[in-house]
């Protein structure tokens, strides 16, 4: 049986997260550093790198995925995740900088995943992460 926690416990829970996408600015590096104060954050520079980490057994409570990345879109990452590790798809939080294409808007309308629109503050990102952690079962390492 998987354990769930309430929102007050989530703030103190050490969640392991994969932050997916380039870290193009000090702002993003600062946001990930701020999350690292409460959580174990692993940054992947691309969707392919994140899929490789996940495919080799890395376990994450949450995956923060940028909608626009150099090697694949957030949509492509999500579709690849559904094909290879579908149990992780509900753990993806999408980060969008606005300026979405109609295809991106349609995609986001068809899924229930949490999304965060830029610009956002550190406190907004922290609260979103903690809210999602509170809703999800605690991850367990996959058996080989």
Which pLDDT tens digit goes with each residue over 72-89? Answer: 889 999 999 999 999 999
- Cβ pair 77, 50 in contact under 8 A: yes
Residue 143 lies in a domain: no
Residue 72 lies in a domain: yes
Residue 81 lies in a domain: yes
Residue 139 lies in a domain: no
Please give the residue range of the domain that contains residue 125.
Answer: 14-132
Q: Which of 7-21, 41-55, 127-141 holds the top average pLDDT?
A: 41-55
Report residue 11's pLDDT band, with 50, 70 and 90 as the boundaries.
very low
- Read off the DSSP letter of residue 90: G
Tell whether the model's pLDDT for residue 68 goes beyond 80: yes
Please report, for the domain that includes residue 18, its CATH number.
3.40.50.2300
Report residue 17's pLDDT band, with 50, 70 and 90 as the boundaries.
low
Structure token pair of residue 73: 């879109």
- Cβ pair 5, 133 in contact under 8 A: yes
- Structural domain total, the chain: 1
Q: Which residues of 110-138 are buried (b: 16+ CB within 10 A; e: fewer)?
A: eeebbeeeeeeeeeebbebbbebbbebee
- In terms of pLDDT, which residue wins out, 84 or 40? 84
Residue 63 lies in a domain: yes
Residue 7 lies in a domain: no
- Read off the DSSP letter of residue 76: H
What is the average pLDDT across 112-134?
A: 88
Residue 62 lies in a domain: yes
**What is the share, in percent, of the chain residues with pLDDT greater than 70?**
76
Residue 26 lies in a domain: yes
Model pTM above 0.75: yes
- Read off the DSSP letter of residue 137: P
């Amino acid at each position: 049986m998987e354990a769930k926690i309430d929102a007050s416990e989530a703030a103190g829970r050490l969640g392991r997260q994969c932050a997916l996408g380039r870290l193009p600015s000090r702002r993003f590096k600062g946001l990930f550093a701020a999350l690292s104060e409460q959580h174990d954050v692993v940054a992947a520079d691309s969707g392919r790198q994140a899929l490789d980490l996940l495919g080799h057994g890395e376990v994450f409570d949450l995956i923060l995925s940028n909608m626009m990345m150099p090697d694949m879109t957030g949509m492509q990452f999500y579709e690849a995740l559904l094909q290879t590790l579908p149990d992780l798809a509900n753990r993806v939080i999408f980060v969008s900088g606005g300026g979405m294409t109609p295809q991106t808007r349609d995609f986001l309308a068809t899924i229930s995943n949490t999304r965060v629109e830029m610009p956002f503050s550190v406190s907004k990102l922290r609260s979103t992460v903690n809210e999602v952690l509170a809703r999800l079962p605690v991850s367990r390492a996959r058996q080989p």
